[in-house]
Amino acid sequence: MKINPKQMEKMARQLGMKMEQIDAEQVIIKLQSGGEIIIDNPKVSRINMMGQDTFQVTGDVTEKPGEEEDEFSEEDVEMVAEKAGVSNDEAKRVLDETNDIAEAILRLKEEHKHR
C-alpha cells in the first residue's frame, strides 16, 4: 500500500508534526570507522515533532568501508598466529599486507623457516 506524500503530510500536521520534503540529490552518512553510506536518488523527509527534527531517507544505497575497518577478526589473527607459529602482532601485520588468511599462513611459515 502506497501512501501519497501529501496525504502523509496532512496526517502528520493533524498529529502536531511538521513534515517537509527536502530536494536532495545525494545523502552521505560519514561513519566513525571512516566509511560512508551513500544514498543516491534520495527521497528525504524532515519531520519536526515537539521541536526535534527526524529525517527519513530512502534511495539507492552504497556502502564504502573505512580505511580503519579491520577486515579480519581477532579469531582470524589468532588462528594465523597459531598455524604459522608466530606472534599475533606478526600475524596481523602479514594479514594486512596479504589480505588473505591462507597466503598469510604460508608466507609466515616460509619466513619462519628461513630464520
Q: Are 112 and 85 in contact (CB under 8 A)?
A: yes
Please tell me the pTM assigned to this model: 0.50
pLDDT digits 0-9 by tens, 39-52: 999 999 999 988 89
User: What is the model's pLDDT at position 67?
Assistant: 61
- Reported as a single tens digit per residue, the pLDDT across 56-113 is 999 999 988 776 555 788 999 999 999 999 999 999 999 988 889 999 999 998 887 7
CATH of segment(s) 5-64 = 2.20.70.30
Q: Spell out a b/e string for 97-112, using b for 16 or more CB atoms within 10 Å of the CB, else e.
A: ebeebeebbebbeeee
Query: Does pLDDT of 54 surpass 70?
Result: yes
Residue ranges per structural domain of the chain:
5-64, 74-113
Whether the pLDDT of residue 9 is over 70: the answer is yes
